[in-house]
């Protein structure tokens, strides 16, 4: 990690909990690899099915993103998510990005 600010145990637990969800990991990876910062739930769901390791239906992917993954990432300020318009804006997050990079090196 390049940030020298120590993580609190609560923050670390929240970040690891989010990264234990494959939809959260795929969402972060997608934003990082596609070099985009804004999308919609509909587009993200289709993209995750096409480009990431999510293997289910479009409806189930969109539902899990809407009800769980995007809400969790929004709470951690990784994204901004408007559940009414389904607009998603990627804010980035140095600690979570560093953790996901580390996870990807061991998986």
41-68: per-residue pLDDT in tens?
999 999 999 876 778 899 999 999 999 9
Please tell me what DSSP assigns to residue 65: I
Average pLDDT, the chain: 90
Contact by Cβ (8 Å): 63, 14? no
For the beta sheet containing 79-82, the strands, ordered from the edge strand earlier in sequence to the opposite edge, are: 38-40, 87-90, 79-82
What CATH number does the domain located at 9-106 have?
Answer: 1.10.10
Between these two residues, 29 and 6, which has the higher pLDDT value? 29
Give the residue extent of every domain in the chain: 9-106
């Amino acid at each position: 990690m390049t940030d020298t600010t120590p993580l609190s145990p609560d923050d670390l637990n929240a970040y690891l909990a989010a990264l234990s969800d494959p939809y959260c990991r795929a969402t972060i990876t997608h934003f990082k690899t596609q070099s985009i910062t804004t999308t919609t739930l509909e587009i993200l769901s289709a993209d995750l099915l096409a480009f990431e390791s999510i293997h289910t239906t479009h409806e189930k992917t969109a539902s899990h993103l809407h009800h769980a993954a995007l809400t969790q990432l929004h709470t951690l300020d990784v994204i901004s998510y408007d559940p009414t318009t389904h607009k998603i804006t990627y804010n980035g997050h140095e600690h979570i990005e560093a953790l996901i990079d580390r996870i990807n090196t061991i998986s």
